[in-house]
Structure 1
């Protein structure tokens, strides 16, 4: 029996995962507010919980896992963007939603089972708010409806904060209609120039927190297995979700999971520091989506992740090496259970990557390919990575001038790259005799070989003769 362990933020411990119903394992992850391009930090939870989604499908069967990730398409940031640009709100949210889907597909994320938009669930939100008022957990004041925090004794249990700390950290809105500074908005009035829906409290729109509770309840039921998101959502968003859902009589999520924050070159990502960029910025700069995915998963999800140029280069090198090794083999029919084992221990992607590299070193390329596909490296970046590697190698060897017109064919570049890869593979397999024999043949052709942590390298000598390469098979 496969045992999956996950860290539950709510209990602050790693627990054996026991689904409510193994025939329908259910997960909800907070998605983006769609008013602009997804920045790099937005991609981390998508990639992390994509891995968990793949793992749950592996353990319980693809047809037995339901994954919901929402879009917040009613929000003051969206309203501000519309006012600033003069464009209709619906046009902005439709465009930015598609941007998000396109960018997340580039980093290898599967589409969830359902991707609800908040504006599709206004009726469910209104019904839930009415229920909270009827049960004494919410109240109407000056066209607003607010959740009464004091009515829920366990408020703060998820984040482990005292009420005083929460007031200080939440930047709560000071409003005369609030009974308690911590009370949060479930519904607020809308002026004619803002999106609004009819409700028992007048024309208005929902607060941020109520949408996830209503959508999760409608799509996953009163109790479900896993709720995920970034650690920045733990308070107040997830704390408020729990309070309003439990007070409405819903059991809500059993396991709460949070990925840590992202930094860039050791600093918080910020426009003022000049280190803020979107996923699309990187893609447009030629960084393959699978390289972004690799870097994200090369740090455990519960640790802060530092995006650096060095890590990007390392990821590109490692993926290129793996794709070289697997380009001519079929993936093994199943992924080795020993290779997957680290993921069953709270998504230990770092150890999983080590297992993949061990397969590469051992020459078990069909198993390597199966493991790569399992974690989401399906070859979308393979051609670009391998072509770049050939080009860089060709430039490093600098055979352009020596080969003259024969360079109209790409074969010399391919030949050199292939032979160097074979030499590296033989060395990794510790077949020293064969590696030394190939090295001698290449040196006879006038190439000087060297090896480093970044891979093999070749330099031409005065005796370089490309014709001698043709004899090597």
Structure 2
């Protein structure tokens, strides 16, 4: 068994072994909670949920930190007199949590808010100033990019080719590419968005937040730092510079998921071409959304469409249909069964979900053939294998939900048909048939209520 992961910094596949045996440490950049989640946010969180599940399967435990950026220019910009920045941040954070939970994304081990780690941010800033890699100017503090020769190592850019950093007022910068570590208080910003510091009242820059939170919860060196491809520059580039310049080894692997696109263009709030997660969840079942967003390789861009969602629904129905048929014959699957070797090989190779899903469907086909042929041994092997694979992929709970919704639909159709037959019997004064159907409902625990708008039914408590 060799797990290989593509390291964005090395731009190569590398063999992965956790720094601490039996415990993978992973930090993933979470949302900036200025407004609700769109489909791109779901795809990013799901990519690392799948990676986490697989690494836990292989190594036993994953300590996952996913932060919440609750203080930022965008959060302050979207606040209103009726909803202060901190109230907006909390409300939107709950929207993200609900959307993630809906598609089966496991909660992180720790989910720190940036505002809870201000002292740790100030500590790193002080170390950078002491080491000559940062400077205070007019109430702000900036990272001196020319003081760190490795700046640009993640994205392999030369410093002189970079655009100026646009994250702060350039009033006190020595170089336009220097980025803000601390932003001095401004008269037009809320007083409660300001913290005291050795450099004057203010608030942290965006990049220093993740460096401080990852260090606080995972230590100065950890296994994996993840996030969307759009975060490589400047956010992750700046994180590497400030953490390593402060003396920390920082992340051993950098992992980036591809973006969700609309007609080939990045989905983003700034472009106005996004689909809100809540809107998609209203239109499609959560299991279908999870499958569709997982089906493409995590590093590739994914163009979300109704066709892709339809294909996901059909694929998921084939899996749940087999599991339901097998369960009627064999009962529960063996919870201790491992995944098939071909599935494991696909997942070990940089989380090859498309290849792993192909294995799932191959085993489903073999299982259906065994079921039709009455071959219980072959059916048992297929059933246990498929159950183990969907469990690792986080499709077990959502597959059960899919199966339950199908069962609910079937029950509703049968009940409605019997209600129609009862209405016809009553209309033709066939009281014996009407009473027989009523008694059948009563025995099944279904309550009927005749109203002026027709008969409605419910399950007795």
Q: Please, what TM-score do these two structures have when normalized by structure 1?
A: 0.79
Counterpart among 340, 343, 346 of residue 347 in structure 2: 343
> Which residue number in structure 2 is paired with residue 359 of structure 1?
363
Whether 1:307 and 2:304 are equivalent positions in the alignment is: yes
Tell me the CA shift for residue 350 of structure 1.
0.2
Q: What is the rounded CA distance, in whole Å, between the counterparts of 1:54 and 1:336 in structure 2?
A: 13
Q: Deviations along 1:34-93, whole A, 9 cap, x unmatched?
A: 12111111112211111111111111113xx211110001011111111x3531222212
Query: CA contact under 8 A between 2:223 and 2:251: conserved in structure 1?
Result: yes
Identify if the C-alpha distance between structure 1 residues 271 and 221 changes in structure 2 by more than 3 Å, giving closer, same or farther: closer
| Alpha-carbon distance change, 69 to 270 in structure 1, aligned in 2, over 3 angstroms | closer
Partners of 1:173 and 1:181 within 8 A in 2: no
Q: Partners in 2 of 1:270 and 1:242 — Cα distance?
A: 25
2:295 corresponds to 1:298: yes
The 1:224–1:271 alpha-carbon spacing in structure 2 relative to 1, beyond 3 Å, is: closer
Matches within 5 A, 1:384-399: 384=402, 387=405
2:346 and 2:355 in contact (8 A); partners too: yes
The aligned runs of 1:68-467 (5 Å cut-off) are 68-82=65-79, 84=80, 86-167=82-163, 171=166, 175-191=170-186, 193-194=190-191, 195-269=193-267, 275-285=273-283, 287-327=284-324, 328=327, 329-332=331-334, 333-338=336-341, 339-363=343-367, 364-380=382-398, 382-384=400-402, 387=405
Structure 1 moving runs of 4+ over 4 Å? 170-174, 270-275, 383-392, 403-409
RMSD: 2.7
Structure 1 residues 82-105: Cα deviation after superposition (integer angstroms, max 9, x where no partner) = 1x3531222212211111111101
Q: What is the deviation of 1:6?
A: 0.3
Name the CA distance, whole Å, in 1 between partners of 2:120 and 2:271. 42
What SS does the corresponding residue of 1:372 show, helix, strand or coil? Answer: helix
Offset, 1:228: 0.6
Which is worse superposed, 86-95 or 151-160?
86-95
- Report the CA distance between 1:379 and its aligned residue: 3.0
1:28 aligns with 2:22: no
Which residue number corresponds to residue 447 of structure 1?
none
Counterpart CA distance in 2 for 1:274 and 1:147 is: 32
Deviation of residue 159 (structure 1)?
0.5
Q: Which residue of 1 aligns with 2:453?
A: none
> Cα 1:268–1:248, aligned 2, differ >3 Å: closer, same or farther?
closer
Distance 1:379 1:60 in 2: 22
Alpha-carbon distance in structure 2 between the residues aligned to 1:265 and 1:388: 32
Unaligned runs of 5+ in 1: 412-473
What is the CA-CA distance between 1:378 and the residue it aligns to?
A: 2.0
In the alignment of these two chains, the number of paired residues is 400
Number of the residue aligned with 1:40: 39
Task: Tell me if the contact between 2:168 and 2:180 (Cα under 8 Å) persists in the aligned partners.
Answer: no
Distance 1:335 1:188 in 2: 52
What is the CA-CA distance between 1:266 and the residue it aligns to? 3.8
Q: Which runs of 5+ in 2 are unaligned?
A: 368-381, 425-436, 441-461
In the alignment, is the contact (CA less than 8 A) between 2:23 and 2:63 conserved in 1?
Answer: yes
Secondary structure class of the residue paired with 1:210: helix
In 2, Cα distance between equivalents of 1:92 and 1:390: 37
State the alpha-carbon separation in 1 of the partners of residues 178 and 63 from structure 2: 32
Secondary structure in 2 matching 1:256 = strand
Q: Hey, what's the Cα distance between the residues in 1 that align with 2:92 and 2:71?
A: 13
Q: In structure 2, how many angstroms separate the alpha carbons of the residues matched to 1:275 and 1:405? A: 51
SS at match of 2:395: coil
Cα deviations across residues 215-244 of structure 1 (Å, max 9, x unaligned)? 111111111111110010000000000000
Aligned equivalents of 1:166, 1:201: Cα separation in 2: 28
2:170 match: secondary structure: coil
